[in-house]
């Protein structure tokens, strides 16, 4: 009996030791080009700031819509002809995998809100097969979106101008239920999308 217990305990030990645990990312862990200078020194307690934006249906979207949710965020624009179509296709792949999962959602922010009106986002959503219950495409105040990208999601380079210009990047960001950054992925890379899907499973399991 004691031998069996020892085997069970050893197996349990190695299972725990080998289990992947997702890191909690802080601003200091990122390339400084992606992080606003005002928070580059932050080492702990970084979370996504509250926001108030408008989705493809004209509905107001805030942190309350993502309360107790794991979600994947990115930054795009509907008229982009380079990386955005690939990113949107890969986000749709994620949507398919999480379609019946109440714990996980998606959130895409336009970096050209002056172009991406609600009507434009709605057309894009229909064209790309966006499920309104799982995936919000949001527009709104340009400074707010800029600040979210640079001070919350740590995902986008600044152009350095005075009009809140952003250099669009391919980053997908995984956010946990406590509004913390748990991973970043190349949204144009299918292998990294697979990794993201696996990390979502790992993150979900950590709440059980």
pLDDT tens digits along 110-144: 999 999 999 999 999 999 999 999 999 999 999 99
Question: H helices within the chain, ranges in order?
Answer: 2-18, 84-98, 118-128, 142-147, 190-205
- Domain extent, residue 74, equals 22-205
> What value, to the nearest 5°, has the Cα angle with vertex 109 and ends 154 and 22?
45
168 annotated binding-site participant:
yes
pTM to 2 decimal places: 0.88
84 annotated binding-site participant:
yes
Does residue 137 lie in a domain region?
yes
d(CA 203, CA 196): 10
Tokens of 158: 């600044």
Does residue 7 lie in a domain region?
no
Residue range 10-59, pLDDT digits in tens: 344 334 344 689 999 999 999 888 888 899 999 999 999 999 999 999 99
CATH code of the domain covering residue 168: 3.40.30.10
**3-state per-residue secondary structure call for 47-73:** CCCCCEEECCCCCEEEHHHHCCCEEEE
Does residue 176 lie in a domain region?
yes
Does residue 13 lie in a domain region?
no
3 annotated binding-site participant:
no
Number of domains comprising the chain: 1
């Amino acid at each position: 009996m004691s031998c069996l217990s020892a085997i069970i305990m050893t197996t349990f030990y190695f299972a725990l030791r080998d289990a992947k645990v997702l890191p909690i990312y802080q601003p200091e862990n990122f390339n400084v080009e992606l992080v606003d200078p005002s928070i580059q020194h932050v080492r702990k307690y970084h979370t996504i700031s509250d926001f108030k934006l408008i989705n493809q249906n004209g509905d107001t979207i805030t942190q309350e819509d993502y309360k107790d949710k794991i979600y994947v965020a990115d930054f795009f624009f509907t008229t982009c002809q380079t990386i955005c179509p690939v990113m949107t296709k890969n986000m749709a792949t994620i949507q398919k995998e999480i379609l019946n999962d109440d714990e996980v959602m998606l959130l895409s922010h336009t970096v050209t809100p002056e172009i991406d009106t609600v009507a434009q986002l709605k057309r894009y959503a229909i064209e790309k097969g966006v499920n309104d219950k799982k995936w919000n495409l949001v527009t709104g105040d340009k400074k707010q979106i800029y600040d979210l990208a640079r001070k919350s999601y740590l995902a986008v380079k600044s152009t350095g101008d005075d009009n809140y210009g952003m250099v669009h990047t391919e980053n997908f960001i995984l956010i946990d239920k406590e509004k913390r950054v748990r991973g970043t992925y190349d949204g144009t890379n299918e292998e990294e999308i697979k990794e993201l899907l696996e990390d979502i499973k790992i993150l979900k399991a950590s709440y059980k």
